[in-house]
Chain A
Amino acid sequence: METLEQIKARLEKILPLTRLDLLPNECPAGERSLLVDAASGFAVAQFLRDDPQLLLDYCSNVTGIDWPQATIKTKVKKKVLVGGVEKEIEEIIETLRSGHLEVVYHLYSMALKQGPVVLRLRSENRTDNTRLPSLTPLWRGAELQEREIYDLYGVIFEGHSDLRRILMWDGFVGFPMRRDYVAPDDFEYEPTPHDEGLQEAKKHYPAEVKP
């Protein structure tokens, strides 16, 4: 199969892209991924699916990831001249990562038995703009998985035909897979007629056996 660099070069020729990055992966056995901006995500996915050399007709896995705002500390080794002697020191660089939600698609080709190509889309932020294009019109296999990501992360997939909660119940508030989600103490608490009945009954207890 083509390398990601070749795919990237071809994509840049064909499509007017605002952002197409190759993300590294520090794990040697893992795959690097293509990061595309939300606006051109659908077009890139369509190219990957229909291109005769790639034919990524099988969308295996769709994952949501939450990246809250954080300061990332990276160690960089630097050579500094101290009193005429060159010394190596470690410097810690702090960078601010803005919060966003990410959706990862693992694409394989069943026709050509190759893959995977990992495609990533990122939302603008985690609060008021979590919209991303749905790839369900391209791969039906993403249908339930995108619903799950909507349910658990709150990513709104534009173009999904049936975006509803899937694992949590209707009427549930919040997105439980987010890093900052705090579970309530008791999910199932609701004032029942039974509680009122008990209060009512207390009035009729004799004073000495009042519980």
Chain B
Amino acid sequence: MNSIAELPPRSFEVKPKLDGQGEPMGELLEISMGPHHPSTHGVFRMDVVLDGEEVVKLKPVFGYLHRNHEKIGEAVSYLSTMPYTDRLDYFCSMTNNWAYALTIERLAGLAVPERAEYIRVIMAELTRLQNHTCLIGFFMQDMGALGTPMMYAFREREKILDLFESASGARMMCNYMRFGGVRVDVDAPWLAQAKQVTDDYGKFLDEFEAFLTQNEILLARTQHVGVLPRALAVNASITGPMLRASGGNYDLRKVDKYGIYSRFDFKVPVGEHGDIYDRYMVRVLEMRESIKILQAALRDIPAGPFMDPKARLRGFRPKPGEVYGRIEGPKGELGFYVISGGSPNPYRYRVRPPSFINLTILEDLCLGHKISDAVVILGSVDIVLGEVDR
């Protein structure tokens, strides 16, 4: 049991280190990293207090992209929020769509046809592939490998975005899922192309890993840096690859078995040390599992309708009630909490953003490390500011 007493105490008052005579060795330096800084992955600021090069205090500051997404969601109809969920985590619009559609389907009691379930799994796993690939690219960029790894990652991402574009009409803002299915069907050439991309992805990962996994600089910069103990991770509601790298075996695809995930045979990679390297490795291994899911889904996808014929898009008014729906997004548990008052728009619409909550422990991870490590630690948390600020 993780009680608070076991967790490290948090101090708000910091003082410079003392020398042998009990005198302070120097002065603390407070710097503001961001909001416009390439390493902060968007408009994000860290108020860092440094003792020499060592971080002694770090407060994340955000809200620069805040547009009160939840308030807008309460002012418009249920369906009108769907395209807006794309803009939460703009790297993973497909999984955002799915989480929202799943919640409303539970609220209104809608069924989803077989084919749509398969299409959703394919889209979600493709999203996971491109999110993790890009994250590793960004994260190498944060570490000083300027450009090259990110460009390789973006080359692969482009192939997946091509698939998204030909299925939904948009590369990033897909707006693809609907309550009770998906907006448009995918055809046989699309599935063949998706199969081609999936089959080639393993080779790309081999190549990527050959450069990175054993790389001496990557090992030196990431091992034993930013260690997150499992007890703290669970207590601070950390989810997704961050939690699993710390040894928490909790993947909603296995726990909740939403959609049709119970039909696929895949493993949940779990780390041991909880450091940055484990977070990197967990993501790489997760991609390999995603490829397995994709291959099975592309092989087994049945013919049939892609939309529940009973689902109504216009005049959609679910009965009063409330529901919390969640899925395993690439960044962690993405949840939606909706209260219906019986009107065309929700009474309360809430997003549980995984990367916002994963930022809770940023200070704990950075304390005692060098300022340059703080950049890498932030990179390994995997945040997208569209979702953090909402």
Contact = CB atoms under 8 A, between A and B. Distances in A.
Contacts of A121: none
Nearest to B333: A60
Contacts of B7: 140
Interface string A164-189: 01111100000011000000000000
Contact of A28 (B2, B109, B337, B356): B109
A65 B348 contact: yes
A168 B339 contact: no
Contact of A140 (B12, B250, B360): B360
B321 A25 contact: yes
A167 B389 contact: yes
Nearest to B326: A60
Interface string A131-163: 000000111111111000000100000000110
B86 to A, nearest CB: 20
B63 A50 contact: no
B10 A141 contact: no
A30 B255 contact: no
Nearest to A30: B323
B305 interface: no
A61 B352 contact: yes
B4 A30 contact: no
A167 B235 contact: no
Nearest to B250: A110
A54 to B, nearest CB: 12
The size class of the interface chain A forms with chain B is: 35 or more
Contacts of A145: 357
B332 to A, nearest CB: 10
A144 B255 contact: no
Interface in B376-390: 389-390
A31 B1 CA distance: 26
B262 to A, nearest CB: 14
A139 B2 CA distance: 10
Provide the main secondary structure of the chain A interface: loop
Q: Which of A104, A144, A165 has most chain B Cβ within 10 Å?
A: A144
Contact of A27 (B1, B71, B323, B348): B323
Interface in A95-138: 104, 106, 110, 113, 116, 118, 137-138
Contacts of A60: 237, 326, 333, 335, 352
A33 to B, nearest CB: 8
A86 interface: no
Contacts of B267: none
B195 interface: no
Contacts of B320: 26-27
Interface string B335-357: 10101100000001010100011
B154 interface: no
A197 B115 CA distance: 66
A104 B347 CA distance: 14
A60 B235 CA distance: 10
A139 B235 contact: yes
Interface of A: 25-31, 50, 55, 57-61, 63, 65, 104, 106, 110, 113, 116, 118, 137-145, 152, 161-162, 165-169, 176-177
- 5 closest A-B pairs (Cβ-Cβ)? A141-B237, A27-B321, A140-B236, A167-B63, A30-B323
Interface of B: 1-4, 7, 10, 12, 62-63, 66, 68, 70-71, 106-107, 109, 232, 234-238, 248, 250, 255, 318-324, 326, 333, 335, 337, 339-340, 348, 350, 352, 356-357, 359-361, 389-390
8 contacts: A27-B322, A28-B109, A29-B109, A57-B235, A60-B326, A142-B237, A143-B236, A166-B63
